[in-house]
Homo-oligomer: A and B are copies of this chain.
């Protein structure tokens, strides 16, 4: 294989006994026993035990953890009683004839054992050591396998991979674009793309018909726990396509990625739900359907109720919904805690009930309910003794959202051993805010199912937009795009974007729509999130080779850094006086 080795360390089995081999890798462990050194040498393929006599080989005395070495020796069976059936190379060892130290290592900042918890900042500072740990090496490998499988699937389906620019035009309103100052045109700026959305639509207008790209995208968000300034998405678009064709292609990529990483073949097609259905049943547009605990409609049961809370909700057009969270300890403190969650999510309160052994209810509101209502609740929520039932009486959106949040808190499994992919379709065009007002919830190229409804009855208007969800996490979203310039004009009008504003924001794209754009539809999903779930880890930072911290810092390289004034001057820029003062503070 090279001057440093001829054999992969992890590949040596009993069939190799007697052969002379050369392996290269890192010292993963070293023990001394009976005057002999036992050195585990690790390379990307695995681990092999090297036995060396310090009296015969000078370098053995120097070997410490994570030294990089090349070892020549003979493969021999391990003595009886010292074999390790858990290790692929556990039946053999290498009797070293020579050990060359390729490079030494200083004392490590942390142990590379997967079981040792290390502060994430330290891990990121020494990412090159962190990545030597077997879990992290496996994460990198899984990511590579997943993207390779996705690409092969789409290539086989006739898609072209096309690279779109990453130095693009900043949209005037896009205050959160990351900017790149131009040197050749002082005072002008490129933006880094939040997604290749408009370029992939241009590719459809260009006649490409089947486009994909595994694309780097940028979002200058305040970093929440699971966001990064730069992230990677599979981006895809098809001409003469509608929703079904997109969902089918994306499903094939997800099936291939899952098979490549997990070795399991998912059942197709994935379940499809309308947005209305998932909101009613799971109280969220990204439901985790690995468990039940579905939201139940209790309006009919309480239609005649005298209980003021229920009565009031119904009278003001609200609903009463409940979930059965199952048998669990439920002290008063827990009840208070969940009530706080409900309130934080906009509900006026939370009704809790514990089913007694005699099928009565322990609940602060039990006294307001008649026997028929109590039996009705237990029946409809399929209550068993000890089950904790939670009810919310409120505006529909608030009621289902609060219950959806509680359901996820109380029911969601801790790990991702099971994978539940699903589609959510028929999203509304507008989203209802907490105050009951509505805002547009898509990009303005999303096709309405009925533009007249959009104009006259916006809160009822549905879109041709759809999401992919895995284990309660939104993987990605897409839509059938508007290709008819007249419809596009009408949608802008309804959204209150006048012609001048539309021209300023998207003029170059609207011009392209004048030249025979085909009907088209597409999708994008996050590679980071997908691999995170497939690898059963808690954060996307575990599957990104060199991530930034939540404040956008890289503890390894120190980026972002300050730069020379002369360098800024070349770009026509200077620091604001306030900023300069702040930088110069001790």
Contacts and interface: CB of A to CB of B under 8 A. Distances in A.
A316 interface: no
Nearest to A185: B560
Interface string A76-104: 00000000000000000000000000111
Contacts of A513: 103
A7 to B, nearest CB: 11
Nearest to A133: B207
A140 interface: yes
A247 B347 CA distance: 66
A16 interface: no
A485 to B, nearest CB: 7
Residue of A175, A203, A546, A556 ringed by the most chain B CB atoms within 10 A: A546
Interface stretch (A251-259, A321-329, A381-389, A566-574): A566-574
Interface in A98-120: 102-106, 108
Residue of A209, A218, A222, A580 ringed by the most chain B CB atoms within 10 A: A209
A449 to B, nearest CB: 15
A160 B179 contact: no
A66 B560 contact: no
A558 B508 CA distance: 8
A430 interface: no
Contacts of A170: 559, 561, 563
Contacts of A216: 163, 166, 216
Chain A interface bracket (under 10, 10 to 19, 20 to 34, 35 or more): 35 or more
Contacts of A68: 483, 516-518
A395 interface: no
Contacts of A189: 560-563
Contacts of A26: 207, 516, 518
A179 B571 contact: yes
A374 interface: no
Number of copies: 2
Interface in A122-180: 126-132, 137, 140-141, 143-144, 147-148, 151-152, 155, 160-170, 172, 175, 178-180
Contacts of A485: 103
Contact of A2 (B131, B183, B240): B240
Interface in A567-586: 567-576, 578-580, 582-583
A230 B165 contact: yes
A160 B142 CA distance: 9
B104 A516 contact: yes
Contacts of A182: 552, 560
A554 B245 contact: no
A140 B160 CA distance: 8
A103 B207 contact: no
B186 A582 contact: yes
A44 to B, nearest CB: 4
A206 interface: yes
Contact of A576 (B155, B168, B562, B572): B572
Contacts of A205: 128
Contacts of A240: 1-2, 4-5, 24, 70
Contact of A508 (B515, B556, B572, B576): B556
A289 interface: no
Contact of A44 (B44, B209, B241): B209
A224 to B, nearest CB: 12
29 contacts: A2-B241, A4-B518, A26-B207, A43-B209, A66-B515, A70-B240, A103-B483, A127-B206, A137-B208, A140-B162, A140-B208, A143-B162, A147-B161, A162-B545, A166-B230, A167-B229, A169-B561, A178-B180, A179-B567, A182-B552, A185-B552, A186-B579, A187-B575, A188-B562, A189-B563, A199-B545, A572-B578, A572-B579, A573-B573
> Which 6 residue pairs across A and B have the least CB separation, nearest first?
A572-B579, A131-B206, A169-B559, A188-B560, A105-B516, A169-B557
Interface of A: 1-5, 24, 26-27, 42-44, 66-68, 70, 102-106, 108, 126-132, 137, 140-141, 143-144, 147-148, 151-152, 155, 160-170, 172, 175, 178-192, 199, 202-203, 205-210, 216, 218, 220, 222-223, 229-230, 232, 240-242, 244-245, 483-485, 508, 512-519, 544-546, 548, 551-554, 556-564, 566-576, 578-580, 582-583
Given A44-B207, A104-B516, A189-B562, 16 more contacts: A2-B244, A27-B516, A42-B207, A103-B484, A130-B206, A131-B208, A140-B160, A143-B162, A163-B545, A166-B230, A167-B548, A178-B180, A181-B181, A187-B583, A216-B216, A573-B579
